[in-house]
Amino acid sequence: MGIGAKILIGLVVLVILLLVAAFLTLNVNVVGSEPDVTYPFSTMYGVSFPEGETITIGNMHILVLSYQNELITDIDGTREKLVVGEDRKLSERRARISTLGALPVADTNFQITLRYKGERENRAYFDMTLRTSKQVPDFLIKRLLPAEIDARPIQIP
């Protein structure tokens, strides 16, 4: 194997290692939203929250508890009752996604709306609409959503 081939293999390995490091060091910092933002991009997910367990999306803390046909949602200390079919809109936020310590990847404002679908097996089911001010790749959005909510994309009709 010649010196040129060794250099090429070395560069390919270096690029692969850099991409892996960039993915593993993805960081999401969520702060307050800017005023007067529009949300032209929308993605829907079917999600389920475990009851009685606080889940964190960005820096929002969400707790759900069901009682008979109602659901109590506690989002950052603000409680609301929901019945099947009702929506709860979460406050607007801004996500700054970076990698490798400080290298910016994406910066977008977002808003989440949850539509309560019912409760089964100690999990509260929702249709979640995520609206963003800029288009964000799905793999970055999935990085923002915790595995505990089991988010599955839904096609928007």
pLDDT tens track for 3-54: 888 888 889 999 999 888 887 777 777 777 778 889 999 999 999 999 989 9
In a domain, 126, yes or no: yes
Cβ partners under 8 Å of residue 107, min gap 6: 94, 95, 96, 97, 134
Structural domain includes residue 20: no
Rounded CA separation 142/138 (Å): 6
The model's pTM is: 0.76
Residue 11 lies in a domain: no
Residue 19 within any structural domain of the chain: no
pLDDT tens track for 116-139: 998 888 899 999 999 999 998 887
Is there a domain that residue 21 lies in? no
In a domain? residue 7? no
Neighbouring C-beta atoms of residue 32, cutoff 10 Å = 11
* CA 5 – CA 11 distance, rounded (Å): 10
Which pLDDT score is estimated for 157?
61
Give the helix/strand (H/E) hosting 140.
helix 138-144
- Which of 36-40, 98-102, 107-111 shows the lowest per-residue confidence on average (mean pLDDT)? 98-102
Provide the residue range defining the domain that includes 100.
Answer: 27-154
Tally of structural domains, the chain: 1
- Is residue 54 domain-resident? yes
Mean pLDDT of the residues in the chain: 86
pLDDT over 80 at 68, yes or no: no
9 within some domain: no
- For residues 103, 106, 109, 114, the Cα torsion angle rounded to the nearest 10 degrees is -120
